[in-house]
Amino acid sequence: MAIYKKNGNWYIDYYCDLVRFRQKIEPSKKQAEHALAIRLSEIVRGTFKMAPKRKRIPFGVLAE
């Protein structure tokens, strides 16, 4: 779990079920800290919803 600044924007970095997530939180470090605390509490409570995995489209289907 981390908070870092890159190119003038603040980011949060965390793991859930061995999957790494990085999210851009723009305005300030304080808001990034708050967002990270919210994400961690969601993970602990079990209410964090991971985005469903996208289905891969085979090239043959895409080419048609």
Domain ranges of the chain: 2-63
Q: Which amino acid type is present at position 1?
A: M
Residue from 55, 54, 50, 42 nearest 20 by CA: 50
1 or 46: which leads in pLDDT: 46
Given this model, what pLDDT does residue 19 score?
86
Beta partners for 21?
Answer: 14
What rounded mean pLDDT belongs to the chain? 87
- Cα of first residue to Cα of last residue in the chain, in angstroms, is 44
- Is the pLDDT assigned to residue 61 strictly greater than 90? no
Given this model, what pLDDT does residue 62 score?
84
Each residue's pLDDT tens digit, 7-37:
889 999 999 888 888 989 878 899 999 999 9
